[in-house]
Amino acid sequence: MSEKINMVNMKINGTEISVPENYTILEASRENGIDIPTLCYLKDVSKTGACRMCIVEIKGARALQASCVYPVSEGLEVLTNTKKVRDQRRVTLELLLSDHDRKCLSCPRNQKCELQALADDLGVENIPFEGEMNTYDIDEVSPSIVRDNNKCVLCRRCVNMCKNVQTVSVIDTMERGFRTKVGSAFDMSLADTSCVNCGQCIISCPTGALREKNNTKEVWDAIADDSKVVIVQTAPAVRAALGEEFGYPMGTAVTGKMAAALRRLGFDKVFDTDTGADLTIMEEANELVERIKNGGKLPMITSCSPGWVKFCEHNFPDFLDNLSSCKSPHEMFGAIVKSYYAEKHGIDPKSIFMVSVMPCVAKKFEAGRPEMECGGLRDVDAVISTRELADMIKEAGIMFSKLPDEDFDQPFERASGAGVIFGATGGVMEAALRTAADTLGGKSVEEIEYHGVRGVEGIKEATVNMGGMDVKVAVAHGLGNARKLLESIRDGKADYHFIEIMACPGGCVNGGGQPIVSSKDKMDKDLRVERAKAIYSEDRASGIRKSHENPDMVTLYNEYLEKPGSHRAHELLHTTYTSRGLF
């Protein structure tokens, strides 16, 4: 039974309103149609009142107050738009801009920058405080993330995400006063820290101070090279968010137009990573069943999220044997394309250039791991984010909304609904259970939607009866929740057979490479929920909803892999992990 929330009566700009007593002035104002500007505020991540952009006047108070942290109360009277408030906000913004790299047109966040939008909204036409500026070297050593402090506004949203939500804690504020900056211990590059490359800092940043390492040039170069067969694969979560870059409502699946756009960019073959997800389930479900039947290491933990895997390597090396040995779907699929597909179609695998379009910038790091190769060939040659794909489509002048819906290429155009739900938290678990339940029970299970592992609750638990056996499972998304879950297991407070962990809150739909959503939009919508709707709608519409019932999987195993867990499957589709220090 939900707890009753008391209401309080107050005034905003002379209008009487009634709001829940646990609201802040910012929340009360927004709910009643008043848009107070913010910069350091990010719902569920950062609420510090540090930037002073959201200041308001309060009757009876001597100083202006930050509305994002000021609680409402009975009889409170607030003014949000007086001359004093507007003047102070403008001065604060002008001071921020006076120490900011204002090369906006060449910034990757041009027209998607919250600082730029504020300057426009507040009518800033010149900077009266020109003077000394801080200058910083750009940190671009990481394979995934570029940090440019010349564009940092010290909002600390990235710090709060990294420290409080993800509990990775590799960045913080350093120095004091005018010299304050965001950095890593001993001024190390992100590449030299225990950064897991999840990119949650990127999608938390209001400016261009953090961005992904751009790999579009090498993809364009490969497409232009006639000696290369350039093949692209797209992750499940990409179709759930790509449309946002072209004006579609959040949660719109644009699968057919995405496939059409990729062909028009010049890729030789357009495949679906959902097929790789089906392949992952074939191997992972088999591995789970083998561990349960033969006394293997339990709980088995999923290994699809490279940010989570690196987090485990740094922080929980004692759990490395619990990780599934399966490569992630796009790495598996790359290995299959450069072996089975190349052999079947008479293509020299050395000429294949495999591109993965991912919602996740940690995939860039993963593709470079020395373990991700077979026979001296990298499984995946280049990884681009959803944002980078959108940029390529725009650069090519492709009118996305006018494209016809097209299918993926054969022989991998069919994927199951189980493969597509990989994009949402709980999806890998649910997909694996659909196959494991049939395997353990020896028959097809009709009830295949496991709602106990769906949703955005940080840690979810369920007990599933499979073949007469109760299998205890858990799902965690966001690395702070993963830490809590693993510590409870380590302390003997929890016991499971199977665990799914995703590095990003909400899973891949909220990956660090997905389209940027402003802090204002995040106040009104839970993008994790909205984008997941597109994922589950494709699953329900699919004629095949279990990975092992995908005819392409049946053919692949009959013609090439023999069976899940075979010697060849292990050579191509499985991997090992590395214990790493905290630095």
Active-site residue 287, yes or no?
yes
Catalytic option among 21, 371, 487, 559: 371
Catalytic option among 283, 284, 313, 538: 284
Q: Which two tokens stand for residue 459?
A: 């840690």
Sequence-ordered list of residues with C-beta below 8 angstroms from that of 98, at least 6 positions apart, any chain = 127, 129, 130, 131, 133
Directed axis angle between helix 427-441 and helix 273-294, to 10°?
50
Type of residue numbered 196: V
Would you call the peptide bond into 143 cis, given omega within 30 degrees of 0 as the criterion?
no
Question: CA–CA separation, 82 vs 414, rounded Å?
Answer: 60
Active-site residue 549, yes or no?
no
Residue that the structure tokens 């905290």 belong to: 582
Question: What is the Cα 178 distance to its own chain's centre?
Answer: 33
Question: What is the Cα 324 distance to its own chain's centre?
Answer: 21
Question: CA–CA separation, 197 vs 364, rounded Å?
Answer: 9
Catalytic option among 46, 303, 324, 339: 324
Type of residue numbered 62: R
CB-based burial label for 495 (10 Å; 0-12, 13-18, 19+): exposed
Type of residue numbered 155: C
Q: Which two tokens stand for residue 161?
A: 């995400």
Catalytic option among 245, 313, 366, 500: 366
Residue that the structure tokens 């992100």 belong to: 190
Active-site residue 284, yes or no?
yes
Would you call the peptide bond into 349 cis, given omega within 30 degrees of 0 as the criterion?
no
The number of CA neighbours under 13 Å toward the Cβ of 16 is 5
Question: CA–CA separation, 103 vs 313, rounded Å?
Answer: 39
Cα angle 281, 514, 473 (rounded to 5 degrees) comes to 35
Catalytic option among 112, 213, 338, 363: 363
Sheet architecture: strand order including 469-477:
300-301, 498-502, 469-477, 459-466
Active-site residue 2, yes or no?
no
Beta strands in 467-578 (DSSP E): 469-477, 498-502
Which among 573, 574, 576 has a CA at the least distance from the CA of 553?
A: 573
DSSP β-bridge partners for residue 116 = none
Question: CA–CA separation, 218 vs 544, rounded Å?
Answer: 36
Catalytic option among 54, 152, 304, 360: 304
User: What Rg do the C-alpha atoms of the chain give, in angstroms?
Assistant: 25
Question: What are the φ and ψ backbone dihedral angles of 37, each rounded to 5 degrees?
Answer: -65, 145
Question: CA–CA separation, 277 vs 547, rounded Å?
Answer: 8
Q: What is the 3-state secondary structure (H, E, C) of 51-92?
A: CCCCEEEECCCCCCEECCCCECCCCCEEECCCHHHHHHHHHH
Residue that the structure tokens 């939008």 belong to: 117
Question: CA–CA separation, 226 vs 542, rounded Å?
Answer: 36
Catalytic option among 287, 313, 388, 538: 287
DSSP β-bridge partners for residue 1 = none
Cα angle 185, 190, 193 (rounded to 5 degrees) comes to 60
Active-site residue 324, yes or no?
yes
Active-site residue 508, yes or no?
yes
Which residue numbers are catalytic? 284, 287, 304, 324, 363, 366, 371, 508
